[in-house]
Amino acid sequence: MKTYKAVLVAVPMLFISALFVFHSKADSIETMTSNIIVYVLMNVFFFMMVLTGKTYKYRMIIFISAALLFPIGFIYHNIIARGSMLVSLSTIYECKVPFCHIVTPMLIIPAALAKTIPFPGTMTGSYASIASMLVLLFSAIIVIGRGWCAWGCFYGGWDECVSKFRKKPLYSLNNRFWKLLPYAVLVFVALMATYTLTPVYCQWLCPFKPVTEFKAVSTIQDIITAVVFFSMFIIFLIVLPLLTKKRAQCTCFCPLGPTIIAFLNRFNIFTVRIDTTKCINCGKCIKICPLNAIDEKSLITGKTLSQCAKCARCIDECPRKAIMYYIRGTKLGVHPNAARLIYLYSAWILMVAVLGGIISTSLSIIFKLLLHL
């Protein structure tokens, strides 16, 4: 795109992102500095995306930075709020545990049948309250479908980051076991949570526990769960992404993204399509897709699978420029840039509001800690 056009397209983002980055008064110079850094960075990246037509690398930098920085802000908040990264029983029974979107699959049945949520959180008015997180998740899914998993989720950057380390994969997740595993996890945690009225995934399985919070180790059961958490972290966030070059946790284990959100993604207005008239069947997109969302059939039908998180890696790397963002109902390839820009506006706003906020909070904590050393 020509520079003056790119400037015109990117200018509204300057105003919209300011609404989110500067929405509350900065309480310190460190907070103001980190807000400004995030604001400038997000707008420079957005402008570059518009100007160059490339999406993936700019998205990836923010996505990975937010995931790696998230634990700093989260743990710091917990230390300030309750004196420790560990969750004590009194915190649990006081219902003061921050809600996380991955709990959502476990609350569907209990909420539908008994209006109850198997999670020790607060409905409103607290850090990561249940209602606020549900609003965020539902709005994101309605607007960009599984785009949430590449533009909004503050965990996914961990396995995306580790998947970059090796040049070539040594192992493939493209078999029945790994494809069915997330559904098995979903059914297991949804039924067990309904039966026990506890967030089973958070209590027993979550690979992100070692970098967020978990129960103080005081019983044999606590020791076993701690071992499980660290094992899950090593398997799904380090070993498998390293061996497969895929986002292993997000593809094979998360009970939310590859199952429920992927299902809803089928009805989302935005999708990624392959122009079969341009495609030369080189198979590069199949190899590089971090979520296994393109298979041989996709190259014939032109449709990516419902697992697609619209991360744009295949779009950017297709040697024939045959893959593009697409708005359902429109004619493929007629205004591909319009579809891309409309999508990018929504996805980037989500990124600014959620991941930009996380980066800014964590940076300001780092600055404060450095200044007080």
Partner 1 sequence: MNRFKSIFGYVTAVALFFFLMFSFIRSDILEKLIVATGIHPTEWYSGGKVITIKQCNGYVLEIHQPVFNTVYGDVTYGFVQLTFKGQPDLPDIIHQAVSIDNYDFTIETDVKTLTTKMVNPGKYAQKIVWTYTFSDKSLNVRVGLKNQKK
Residues in contact with partner 1 by CB under 8 A are: 16, 19-20, 82, 89-90, 92-96, 107, 109-111, 113-124, 129-132, 134-136, 138-140, 142-143, 194-195, 197-198, 269-270, 327-331, 334, 338-339, 342-343, 345-346, 349-350, 353
Alpha-carbon distance 367 to 269, whole Å? 41
> Do residues 66 and 359 make contact, with C-beta atoms less than 8 angstroms apart?
yes
Find which of partner 1, ligand SF4, none residue 289 binds, CB within 5 to 8 Å per kind: ligand SF4
Judged by CB, which is closer to partner 1: 125, or 319? 125
With CB under 6 A as the contact rule, the residue among 59, 246, 310, 340 that binds ligand SF4 is: 310
254 near ligand SF4, judged by CB under 6 A = no
Judged by CB, which is closer to ligand SF4: 289, or 359? 289
Any idea which residue has 């992927």 for tokens?
262
Alpha-carbon distance 9 to 83, whole Å? 46
Q: How far is the CB of 325 from ligand SF4 (least distance, A)?
A: 9
313 near ligand SF4, judged by CB under 6 A = yes
Q: Which residues contact 293 (CB under 8 A, 6 or more apart)?
A: 304, 305, 306, 307, 308, 309
Alpha-carbon distance 55 to 362, whole Å? 25
Q: Which stretch binds ligand SF4 (CB under 6 A): 6-14, 60-68, 310-318, 345-353?
A: 310-318
Judged by CB, which is closer to partner 1: 137, or 250? 137
DSSP string, 279-331: -----HHHHH-TT----HHHHHH-B--TT-----HHHHH-TT--EEEEETTSP
Q: How far is the CB of 311 from ligand SF4 (least distance, A)?
A: 4
Alpha-carbon distance 4 to 260, whole Å? 41
Which residues would be at the binding site for ligand SF4 (CB under 6 A)?
272, 289, 291, 293-294, 304, 308-314
